Each structure stands twice: as structure tokens, then as C-alpha cells.
Amino acid sequence: MQKGLGVTGKRKLNTDKIFKIGATIAGAYVLVIIALMVFELLSESYPVWQEEGLGFITGTDWNPVEGRESFGALPYILGTLVTATLAMAIGVPLSIGIAMFLSDSPKSISEPLGFMVELLAAVPSVIYGLWGLFVFRNYFKDWIEVPLHNTFGDSVWFFSGTPFGLDIFTASIILAIMIIPTVSAVSREIMKAVPQQQKEAAYMLGATRWEMFKLAIFPYSKTGLIGASILGLGRAVGETMAVTMLIGNATGDSAIPQSLFKASQTMSSIIANEFIEASPASVHLPALVGVGLVLLITAICINVVAHLLVTRMLKVKEGIVNA
């Protein structure tokens, strides 16, 4: 029994089938790429795992010199975590403040201002680096870092070390600016998702705007806001160029984050700095690929957590509506 009907019956079915197959292949492309990528990263970095074992993640040596090769990525892992966490600590409160302002303002104000905040996301990382290097760094050093060091340098460990401006602190601040558009936009969406009735209930009791936030918006969107913050963390972890240009390029033991004013290195910046010079014949390249692998895993884990938190909050909202 023929499946298709009509004059072009047979051909009709084939073209559609080809279409479906083509679309499916395009869809599955991402799966293939991911699988291939993981495979390539693992196989290319294999030599360094073989050589250092888990010591690659816990070691702090970084010596590409032939004959004395030794690679430990811990300083860079710490560098990434420290800068990203600091960026989050500075950027998230600002982002939530921005979201609070924009989610509750009339369109005539929230649209232009919101647009400007979102434009921050359009600026390429390398330009943030350029600006940070030639403009921000000097002001920051003179107005904030040096005074802090002079006042607290001896007593507080993370203010020690003469500040030159290319350090963890500067890099983290620029990172904080870079994550603001994302965190504030997602937070804004989350706050706007709070049902109008909740806000009305708060206002009915005679609450001020801020009290309404405390009663209706924050308890409701807590989970989502945490998710948005972790999203910012994930963004900061993957950042490369701005950090590379501002973190001061230390390697090995001296890259271990010890003070806000000391140079350091992140996983992405060590790759950016050294990848081209690393010879594939040595273990240096596998080491850098290994760093890339660790970076990838870190970024994925953080983002999966963030994703779960944000979508969980939206599911909770639906649950309440259906109750």
C-alpha cells in the first residue's frame, strides 16, 4: 500500500524526509561538537595527567623549561575563583540595586536607563581591558589602592604589597562591571515575575515601596536572585581578555592569590598568555589544554547550578498560580 497520495506522492514524502533529517542533523550538531571537544581536550591533555596525575590540580609549580618541566594549575584555579568571587561580591549588590530600580520604574525611565546598562554587555572584553589598562587602573591605583595600602597594608593581609594597579583587585572590579548587565537583567526579569497580587497585598497593608520589596518581592524571588548571581559567577569565570590585560601575569608560586594588590593569573589568562609559545612536542601544551579542561568543567558546573535555580523559581511561580 503506497504511503503517499497524489501525483507527486513519492517525491513529496522524500523531500520532507530529507528536510527532517537535515534539521535533525543540524540539531544534533551541538551534541557532536561537545562530545568531540571533550574527547579532544582529554586526549591532548593526557600527557600532563599522566605526568602529574592529580597533582596537576593541587600543584603550584609552573615550569615549562625543558628538562625541568613541572606543571601545577592550582594558582590559576585559585586566581579564577578569587577574581570571580570578588567580582560577584561587588557586582551582584549593584545589579540587584539596578534591578530594584528598573523593575519598579515607569517605562519612560526604565527603558533608556535599562538600555544603557544592557549596552555594557555589548562592549568587547578587549576594550574593557584597554580602558582598564590606560584609564581606570591609574585612577583606581591612586585613589583607592594606595590609600588602602598605606592605611591597612601592615595590618590586613589582603592589603599588603605595593599596588601597581595590575592586580587581582583591579581585574575583579572590571569583571564586576562586566557581569552587571547579565545579573541585573536576569534579576529584573525575576522581580517582574512576582505576581501583581503579591505587591498589592503589601501595599494594601500600608507598606512603603521598600517594605513592599521586603514583603512581596524578595521572599518570592530569593532563589531566582541567587541563581542570577551564580550566573554572574559563571560569566566571570569564563572571562579572558580583560582579566589577562589587568591581572599582572604572574606564574607558578607567585601567582597564588595572596593579596588584592599582587599580580596573579587565572585559568583563562594563562592560556591566552602562553598558548602560542607552547610547543606541542613538550608537555607545556598539554598542560595548557589541561587548564582549559578544568576551566570548562568549572564553568559548566557553575552554570548548571545557576540554570537550575533560576528555572526552579519560575516553576515555583507556576505552582503557586495553579494552587
Partner 1 sequence: MTALSIRPQEVEANRDSVFKPEVIDEKYKMIAENVTVTYGGIPAIKNVSMKFKERTVTALIGPSGCGKTTFLRCLNRMHDMIKSAKVVGKVTIDGIDLYSKDIDPIYHRRKVGMVFQKPNPFPTMSIYDNVTAGLRLNGVRDRKILDEIVEDSLKMAYLWDEVKNDLKKPALELSGGQQQRVCIARALAIQPEVLLMDEPASALDPIATQKIEETITELKKEFTIIIVTHNMQQAVRVSDYTGFMYLGDLIEFRETKKLFTDPKNELTAKYVQGQFG
Partner 2 sequence: MTSTQKRLEYRMMFKQNVEKRLLVDKIVRIIVFSCVIIAIIPLGSILAEIFKNGTAAISYEFLTATPGAIGTGEGGIGPAIQGTLIIIGMSSLIGIPIGVLSGVFLSEFGENRLAQIVRFFNDVFMEFPSIVLGIFAFLIIVLVLGHFSIWAGAFALSLIMFPIIARTTEESLKMVPMTYREAGLSLGLRRWVITMRIVLASAKSGLITGILLSVARIGGETAPLIMTILGSSQFFHSFDAPMDALPLRIWRLSLLPYDSAQLQGWGSAMVLIIIILAINIGVRYFFLRKRGSGMFSRLIRQKILGGKR
Under rule CB under 8 A, residue 88 binds partner 2: no
- Nearest approach in angstroms of CB 237 to partner 1 is 31
Residues 195-224 that bind partner 2 (CB under 8 A): 208-211
CA 204/CA 145 separation, integer angstroms: 48
In this structure, what C-alpha cell is assigned to residue 276? 602560542
Cβ-based nearer residue to partner 1, 2 or 322: 322
Cβ-based nearer residue to partner 1, 200 or 277: 200
**Contact residue for partner 2 among 37, 156, 205, 320 (CB under 8 A):** 37
Under rule CB under 8 A, residue 97 binds partner 1: no
- Nearest approach in angstroms of CB 105 to partner 1 is 9
Cβ-based nearer residue to partner 2, 226 or 258: 226
Instruction: Compute the radius of gyration of the chain from its Cα atoms.
Output: 25
Under rule CB under 8 A, residue 315 binds partner 2: no
Residues 137-176 that bind partner 2 (CB under 8 A): none
Under rule CB under 8 A, residue 207 binds partner 1: yes
- Nearest approach in angstroms of CB 119 to partner 1 is 25
Cβ-based nearer residue to partner 1, 187 or 265: 187
Under rule CB under 8 A, residue 119 binds partner 2: yes
Under rule CB under 8 A, residue 197 binds partner 1: yes
CA 92/CA 96 separation, integer angstroms: 6
Instruction: Using alpha carbons only, give the angle 271, 184, 221 rounded to the nearest 5 degrees.
Output: 120
> What is the phi-psi region of residue 136: left when phi exceeds 0, alpha when psi lies from -120 to 50, beta otherwise?
alpha
Task: Pick one of partner 2, partner 1, none as the site partner of residue 205 (Cβ within 5 to 8 A by kind).
Answer: partner 1
- Nearest approach in angstroms of CB 111 to partner 2 is 7
Under rule CB under 8 A, residue 215 binds partner 1: yes
Task: Pick one of partner 1, partner 2, none as the site partner of residue 304 (Cβ within 5 to 8 A by kind).
Answer: partner 2
- Nearest approach in angstroms of CB 160 to partner 2 is 27
> What is the phi-psi region of residue 162: left when phi exceeds 0, alpha when psi lies from -120 to 50, beta otherwise?
beta
In this structure, what C-alpha cell is assigned to residue 175? 569583571
How big is the site for partner 1, counted in residues (CB under 8 A)? Answer: 23
Under rule CB under 8 A, residue 226 binds partner 1: no
- Nearest approach in angstroms of CB 218 to partner 1 is 9
**Contact residue for partner 2 among 226, 241, 256, 316 (CB under 8 A):** 241
Under rule CB under 8 A, residue 198 binds partner 1: yes
Cβ-based nearer residue to partner 2, 52 or 274: 274
Interface residues with partner 1 (CB under 8 A) are 106-107, 195, 197-208, 211, 215-216, 219-220, 222, 320, 323
